[in-house]
Each structure stands twice: as structure tokens, then as C-alpha cells.
Amino acid sequence: MRIAINIVSSYARFLFGMIAVFCLTPFILQRIGIEDFGLWSLCLAVTGVLGVLDLGFSTAAVKYVAECAGNGRHEARNEALSTLLLVYALLGVVVLILVLAAIPAGIHWFGLEADNAVRFRTIVTITGVAQGIALPLSIFRSALVGQGRYDVVNGFDIGIIVLNISLVVTLLMSGLGLPGLAIANASIVLAGPLALVPMAFKKIPGLALSIKRIRLARLREAAPLAVWFMLANIALIITLRSDALLIKIYLPLTAVAAFAIAAKISESSYLLNKQFSNALMPMISSSRGAGDTATVHAILQDGTRYLAAVSAPVLALLFFHAERVIDLWVGPELHAAILPLRILLLAVFFSTLQFNAANVLGMTGGHRKVAWTMIGSAALNIILSIIFIPALGLAGAALATLVSALTLEFGVILKRACNHQEMKLVSVLRPIIPVLFSLVPMFLTAHWLNLYWPVNSLLALVLQCVIAGLVFLAVACMMVIRPDERRRVIGRIADWNSQRSLKHVPARQD
């Protein structure tokens, strides 16, 4: 039940965030213009790189807390978290120093003119300082996730999204422009971690942090694991943020803005799909701590099948309607985003298929393999981007991402996870084939609707996608879900209805 709640709350929180982004982006573009939106995206790419200073300790903390929850070692958990809190405080100071160093380097590297240079300095300073202050507080989020309380984290995240919407609208309507966006961003960067501090102490049994509990031995336990998670996180951040930096070297800010729109949609799809595998991550660690290999195998095999079934129709419909999405969302002025968007969506699909495999590897001792593969993928992405962008423009940046995702993330990690768990690769890939076949009637439905139902609003487009998605769901229920799984679900629904009916039966009066 906890796993189901975590998955549902994760999707609810992320869908709420996607809707907020979808509504805010056209508003922001209207208020600041395409070129300033490109500058804003460039600043976010620069400050986003500071995320590498997490050094992988957040993922290591999740794993450590989950294993301690499985075997009841509460004091070991408290010592580890106390030690990591100190480490994060020191890293926060490092972030503040690097922010000051990054500003003049960025202005010179990107060749920003005087006016843009001033705004670049303001935005990076505000956002970077907020990240440095929030970094130590992020340990409480990791602790809640490791404890399996995604529902708590997601609930607070929804509140932070509402706060962000309010601040962005208010500050932009007040005429503050890009500095207003930076203030809104900094506010939610700080508000989220602060809100989770008291909840961590309330929801995690026996949580107690203090200077007396700091143990360097615990750091030595977590550090080797954290180093490899850090390398994997660095690779992911480079993959997600480097494109905007490289594009600015070769192309103007308007091109950065167009690619940022394509990247925002594809990255949202990427992170939406990741909610499913993230909710299963603590379960992998606790199962390993309890010696339950059958559950780990089920997550790798069945979890990947369900993840494909959840992600494929969304990505396919976005691919099919890419031009309409761009036109209706941000306008025809950003048509340059259409082709890179379609290429990036293909890359997201192949990346998605290895999510559970990467988590299984990372949480069961194969973290080095994940790190090296992700580093290779990021390096290949950068090399290909440098080659492709001058020749192919924005499509070249997207194509570099696709090639690295297909060859290394999907091609290597899935195989390594199967070998690590002594499973055959075909046992994980074969169940995905019915998912792909289920897309065919969905595509035919989408094409038919497109011919006979002219789309002139986002609402009409959403309704078309819902109808096509329901066709996929009907076919997938027969082709993707096994008969025993259908019987189990039907049985549970029947039991739930029976229990609900009994609650409404009046007690007999003797």
C-alpha cells in the first residue's frame, strides 16, 4: 500500500508541476520576450551545474536510511545523517564561493553584452546563494525519501509549486522582469527544504541529529558509495544542462530559447517517467537489506514493463502532436523547437527503459557500473554536440542526446543490470514488445482524429490525446497485463467493494 501511495503521490505532484509550467511558460514569454527567456534559460543552466556539489551524498543518504529502516539500525542512521549534515554545511559554503567565481567567467565565456551581463550577474547571484543555503537542508528530504515517505515530500512539493506560481505572477506583473523570476526561484529553492525539516522529525521514527552523533566512520561508510553516485549525478546534470551552454557558443540567445522550450517538454517527460522508478528505489534497498532478491528481480522485470507502458503513450502522443503543442503553447515564433523536440522525445524513451535497471544496479552494489556508463554517455553527448551543432543547429544538439541515450544508457545499463542479477536480458525486453504493438491502434486513432477534428485550442488537443490514450489503455490491458495480474486486480477491487458494503450495513438490534 505504501508503494502505491508513493507512486500515486509522485505522479500527482509531478503532473501538478507540469501543469504549472505549461501555464506559466507562455505567461513568462509574453512578459519578458524570447531573447530574455534565452538569457533566463542560460542562467538556469549555469546555476544548475552547481548541483554537482551534492557530491552524491543525497542518493547515498536515501540508500543508507532505507537499509537502516529495513534492519532497524536507527542509531547508525542518526549518526550518518548528523555527519552528512555537517558535510553539506561545508559544501554550501563552497557553492557560495563558486557562484562568485562563475559570474565573471560566464560573462566572458558567453560574450554577453553590458546589459545582459548585469542581469546575468544578478540572476546567478540570487539563485546561487539560495542553492548554497538550501544544500544542508536537503538532507531532511533525503531522509524522508529513504524512509519511504514520498507522500509527505510530494505533498509539500505541491504547496511549493503553488507558492512559485503566486510569486512568478505577482513579481512579473509588478514589472520586475528577470530579477523577479530569480527571486521567485530562490524563494522556492529555500522554502521547500525548510518546510521538510519539522516533518522529518515527525515522520521518521527515532530521528535525532546532533553534534555528538557526528562520526567520521559513518562518512567513510557512505563516501565510497557517494563518490560513484556523485559521478552519475554529474553526468546527468551535464546531459540535462550542457546543451544550452554549448548552443550559446555557436548560436544566438533566440536559439537557446527555442531549444529550452523543446528541452522543457522532454525533460518534464523524462522526470515524469522517473517518478515511477524513484518510488521503487527505497524498496530495492530495503529488499536487499532483508535478503529478498525475488522482489529486486520483479522490480527489474515487471517494473520495466509497467514503466514502458506508462511512458510510451505519453511520449508517442507528444511526438505525433509536436507541431501543434509548440504552436498552441508558445506560438509559431518558436517553430525551431519542433524537430529537436521530436528527437529528444526518442532519447527520453530509451533513457526511461533503463531507469529501474540503473536503480537496481545502484542500490545493490553495482553503482560503479552506473556511474561509468553515465559519465560515458555525458562525454559522448558533449563530443557529438560540438560536432553536430555547427552543422545541424538545434537538431544536432538533440541528435547527440539521442545517440548517447540509445548506445550507452539503454544499450549498456540494462544489460549490466541483468548480468548483475543473473537474469537474461531477453526476459526484460520481451515484455516491452506488446507495449510497442499497443501503440499502433493509438497512432491510428490519433491520425483519424487529426483528420476529422480540427484542433484550435490546447483543450481540444488534450481531449484528442485522452481518447487516443484510452484506446492504448484498452489494448494494453489485454496485451501488456498478464492474465494472473488482471485476476489479482479484479479480486482486490471485489474485496474492497465487499468491505465497503459491510461498513454500510446497519448493525442488528437485539
Mean pLDDT for all residues in the chain: 80
Predicted local distance difference test score (pLDDT) of residue 264: 85
Cα–Cα distance measured from residue 44 to residue 428, given in angstroms and rounded to the nearest whole number: 37
The Cα–Cα gap between 476 and 434 comes to 7
C-alpha cell of residue 212: 555528538
**Residue 15: alpha-carbon gap to chain centroid:** 12
Q: Please report the DSSP string for 146-159 in residue order.
A: HTT-HHHHHHHHHH
Q: Apex CA 314: angle with CA 310 and CA 320, to 5°?
A: 150
Alpha carbon distance 293, 421 (integer Å): 8
Place of cell 538545434: 394
Q: 238-290, pLDDT tens digit by residue? A: 666 678 778 888 888 888 888 988 988 888 888 777 777 776 666 676 666 66
Q: What is the DSSP string of 287-324?
A: HHHTT-HHHHHHHHHHHHHHHHHHHHHHHHHHHHTHHH
User: Quick one: pLDDT at residue 89?
Assistant: 82
d(CA 415, CA 91): 35
Q: What cell was used for 199?
A: 516533518
Alpha carbons 72 and 147: distance in angstroms, whole number: 11
Q: Give tens-digit pLDDT for 347-389.
A: 999 988 888 888 787 777 776 777 778 788 888 888 999 999 9
Rg (CA), the chain: 23
User: Three-state secondary structure along 424-450?
Assistant: CHHHHHHHHHHHHHHHHHHHHHHHHHH
Q: Which of 145, 178, 177 is nearest to 69 (CA)?
A: 145
CA distance 449 to 458: 15
Separation between Cα atoms, residue 362 and residue 416, nearest integer Å: 11
Query: What is the rounded distance in angstroms from the CA atom of residue 417 to the CA atom of residue 419?
Result: 5
| DSSP tag of 82 | H
> Using 50, 70 and 90 to split pLDDT, how confident is the model at 343?
very high
Q: Is the pLDDT of residue 482 over 90?
A: no
Q: How confident is the model at residue 494 (pLDDT cuts 50, 70, 90)?
A: low
For the chain, domain boundaries: 1-227, 251-482
Question: For residues 69 and 286, is the Cβ–Cβ distance under 8 A?
Answer: yes
**What does the pLDDT read at residue 57?**
59
pLDDT for 393-445, tens place per residue? 999 999 999 998 898 888 888 888 888 888 888 888 898 999 999 999 999 99
Q: What is the pLDDT of residue 1?
A: 55
Cell 512539493, residue?
157
Tell me: pLDDT of 203 over 60. yes
Report in angstroms the alpha-carbon separations of 68 from 65, 105, 206. Answer: 5, 43, 12
Strand locations in 326-375 (E): none
